[in-house]
Structure 1
């Protein structure tokens, strides 16, 4: 049923999960949340989410490049039913957690949209389930749009804090969709994702070509950039969770590349952004 199914067991880690669920017109799918909290996020189309006597109707969107979407949060230890009258594709972002929070609806109009970077490092971030924006126990999730030819997820960074004797690094999933080339012959697009090193001695050195539907798993260590090929806008969904008591993004730039942020002060944001929605600007 799922076109992508990343669980902690399959990933070899402890917390983060991601599934991508296609539903045909009129189809219905049920699942148990188990020991994880989940967010149902439409990638294309809309759906109805039913859980614990609550019903949330998600309007969704035509595709990930056309705007932000509404979404639904469903708690651990619950049964969930998804149905779609017209069909679509839906991301289920999850994290193992301890607290059971109430099921909730997240409106598209409440999603903070942020422009990060400048010049060829400009990108647009949809902070729909960022820490401090939407309450969850461990789950953090955001969407990023990168115009064709730009570098995103840059400078290289980690999601941890240097805390002696305490493990705090976040497990991260990147799920990609790449816009096809414009015109009658819509050639499938591609991009690249770099993982520069590992912080737990695993020796990971990766430069992966990514296409629509691909995912890259980052258990630890420095990672970035995400590179969109010219002519092909890149979308990725970030799903993160980790062992720390505090639910926080914990970003730390690679010390050899942190100077890049200062260089953005002299550059303008890419004029192709924002794609939609009034944004905040962050350097």
Structure 2
């Protein structure tokens, strides 16, 4: 893939009610998907989950979700920089309705899957928040749907807040091979927002001949696709925090997130 295909600037993948729509067909892979839905005050949206499981994650605002006979109220949040949010898990083969009285922006992180799990609410107080790295590599990781924190079939998703002037997704790491006990094969989407506008930067370097190679200037609403390769660093501009949502899924029998760090970068204190 070319850098242009892997870096998706805001608006380039808009489709219908979605400010961003990246399905497996658009990405050229098998599992991971991401949509960003804007709802005006009082507006609602009907959504068929199809062959995928989804997590509805408020970016701004709150909403009510009807799914599988369940009514889930999401309080949401003022912005991605104001803290963690509650969320809703939406199973495959379901018809859902998303409605917002005050309006907002909502991410739908998805993965093609086999098991049909129940619709349910993920409370904000139960989201594990991790401080990772040190110095100018310190960042906050919100593990709302990490492999060991919330039950999904294939979907793995986390949020990261990188303070202004800091690096995250560092040291560069990869998960594009199946190596039992060492590495899992996962497709990944990064979705960015920059506090105050940006820009920030995202690097993906090849792990194999002809592999992903991206150095992108990213702004709010941009996405970067990572089919393979060493990804990182993600660089926040001085004075402007960077947010990104990571969405991952892959073909492995176990839902795991095992990575290998780039051998040319030291890991102590950074990872």
Partners of 1:140 and 1:41 lie apart in 2 by 13
Q: Are 1:96 and 2:112 an aligned pair?
A: yes
Counterpart for residue 33 of structure 1: 49
| Residue of 164, 168, 172 corresponding to 1:152 | 168
Counterpart for residue 64 of structure 1: 80
SS at match of 1:76: coil
Deviations 1:223-274 (A, max 9, x none): 10000010110000000000001101111111111x2x2255xxxxxxxxxx
TM (norm. structure 1) is 0.87
CA drift of 1:68 comes to 0.1
| Residue of 238, 252, 264 corresponding to 1:256 | 264
Larger Cα-atom Rg: 1
Q: Which runs of 5+ in 1 are unaligned?
A: 181-187, 265-282
**C-alpha RMSD of the superposition:** 1.4
Q: Which runs of 5+ in 2 are unaligned?
A: 1-16
Counterpart for residue 232 of structure 2: 224
Partners of 2:186 and 2:165 lie apart in 1 by 28
CA drift of 1:179 comes to 0.3
| Residue of 124, 129, 136 corresponding to 1:120 | 136
Q: 4+ residue runs of structure 1 moved beyond 4 angstroms? A: none
SS at match of 1:3: strand
Counterpart for residue 194 of structure 1: 203
Deviations 1:36-79 (A, max 9, x none): 00000000000001012100000000000001000000100000
